[in-house]
């Protein structure tokens, strides 16, 4: 068994909202994921709005705590890590968010943002070393120092800003970057250049990505593995191309159908018309969460949540009783 960079075991996050009735929202339920150390890979987490993607990112980044389960990075459970291990973890796992520069003061120039990082992670030597590190990091994402370092965020395009955020993350020399909807605010024509930066950081620098998106077409362009979430649970997972080319879960079939058909003359702009998501979620819920919207639903779907069933012979799996029979078949024939 190859060594794991990130392992998430039975991760569950329940938000308790205050007020009358004290409602509980299960944002993530019994979620499992593993990313091997080698080779570096891009793992996509896809799903419509509210499916739990950002919750997963926030849990991994330590911004919020698990209700139950474990997150293990490089063999260390992050909930029991000591201060030195946490410090190291904060370097190894970097984040890129939807809104580039959203966390920075708009009056900071790009070089100041980089200075903050260099000071925080004690990266620089003298001024020339620092400048060299900034230049090299910008070159990795296809930018030139003299073009951007003295600029303010509003003087740059969304695509440039997001590439600067990738350069900032790269500068820290992480093993993994958690990218939560990094291209959804970027002009469609510039998205490919950012996806390309991610592929290059993976292939040339050995950085793995957790790529979070509501958009299957960008996942298709970059992803190695994909996990498709529906209301906080995995509907389907596996090799990205296989899952999108041959979706098995009725929900994922709907999602894929709603992606425009690839036509060489029409550029995918990546926007999907998702089916409406109205059902309220609560922690008291048995059976498949997709039941009310599923055209194949059966009585047993109400009894308990379907486990992930293997499709074919590889790691393609779907959480749907339609595939339970396939597994039973060989035994029945014997
Ligand atoms: P996504 O990123 O896929 O849109 P989120 O992880 O943001 O999904 O949200 C998952 C679910 O958890 C949603 O139903 C959302 O309303 C709920 N949720 C997210 N954050 C909080 C919070 N801080 N308090 C209460 N509920 C939350
Ligand atoms: Mg989100």
Cα separation values, 149 from 89, 111, 161, Å: 28, 5, 11
Q: Which two tokens stand for residue 147?
A: 């073009």
From the CA of 281, the nearest ligand is 1
Total tally of structural domains belonging to the chain: 1
184 lines ligand 1 (CB under 6 A): no
Per the domain annotation, does 36 fall within a domain?
Answer: no
Per the domain annotation, does 302 fall within a domain?
Answer: yes
18 lines ligand 1 (CB under 6 A): no
Per the domain annotation, does 71 fall within a domain?
Answer: no
The domain of 247 spans 226-262+272-334
231 lines ligand 1 (CB under 6 A): no
Region 43-53: mean pLDDT is 95
Residue 21's pLDDT is: 67
Residue 149's pLDDT is: 95
CA of 54 to the centre of ligand 2 (A): 4
pLDDT digits (tens, 9 = 90+) for 191-234: 999 999 999 999 999 999 999 999 999 999 998 999 999 999 99
Per the domain annotation, does 328 fall within a domain?
Answer: yes
pLDDT digits (tens, 9 = 90+) for 232-265: 999 999 999 999 999 999 999 999 988 765 554 4
Per the domain annotation, does 333 fall within a domain?
Answer: yes
Q: Which two tokens stand for residue 301?
A: 């779907």
Per the domain annotation, does 283 fall within a domain?
Answer: yes
Residue 326's pLDDT is: 56
In angstroms, rounded to a whole number, what is the distance separating the alpha carbons of residues 259 and 274? 9
121-135, 158-172, 194-208, 278-292: least confidently modelled range:
278-292
**What is this structure's pTM?**
0.90
Residue 50's pLDDT is: 93
Preceding amide of 134 cis, omega within 30: no
pLDDT digits (tens, 9 = 90+) for 268-288: 444 444 444 444 455 446 899
Per the domain annotation, does 239 fall within a domain?
Answer: yes
Residue 223's pLDDT is: 86
């Amino acid at each position: 068994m190859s060594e794991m960079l990130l392992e998430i075991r039975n991760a569950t996050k329940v938000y308790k909202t205050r007020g009358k009735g004290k409602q509980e929202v299960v944002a993530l339920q019994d979620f499992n994921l593993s990313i091997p150390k080698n080779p570096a890979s891009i793992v996509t987490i896809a799903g419509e709005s509210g499916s739990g993607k950002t919750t997963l990112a926030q849990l991994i980044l330590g911004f919020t705590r698990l209700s139950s389960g474990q997150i293990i990075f490089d063999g260390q459970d992050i909930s029991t890590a000591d201060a030195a291990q946490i410090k190291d973890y904060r370097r190894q796992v970097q984040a890129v968010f939807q809104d580039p520069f959203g966390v920075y003061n708009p009056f900071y120039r790009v070089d100041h943002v980089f200075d903050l990082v260099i000071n925080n992670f004690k990266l620089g030597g003298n001024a020339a070393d620092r400048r060299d590190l900034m230049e090299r990091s910008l070159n990795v994402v296809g930018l030139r120092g003299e073009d951007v370092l003295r600029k303010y965020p509003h003087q740059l395009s969304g695509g440039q800003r997001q590439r600067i955020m990738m350069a900032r993350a790269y500068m820290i020399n992480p093993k993994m970057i958690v990218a939560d909807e990094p291209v959804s605010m970027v002009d469609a024509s510039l998205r490919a250049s950012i996806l390309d930066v991610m592929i290059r950081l993976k292939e040339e620098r050995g950085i793995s990505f957790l790529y979070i998106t509501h958009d299957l077409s960008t996942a298709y362009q970059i992803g190695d593995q994909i996990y498709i979430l529906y209301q906080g649970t995995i509907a389907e997972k596996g090799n990205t191309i296989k899952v999108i080319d041959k979706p098995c879960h009725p929900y994922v079939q709907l999602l894929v159908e709603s992606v425009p058909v690839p036509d060489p003359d029409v550029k995918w702009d990546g926007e999907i018309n998702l089916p409406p998501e109205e059902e309220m979620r609560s922690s008291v819920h048995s059976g498949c969460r997709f039941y009310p919207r599923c055209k194949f639903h059966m009585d047993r779907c109400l009894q308990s949540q379907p486990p992930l069933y293997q499709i074919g012979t590889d790691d393609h799996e779907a959480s749907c009783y339609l595939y339970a029979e396939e597994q039973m078949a060989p035994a029945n024939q014997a």
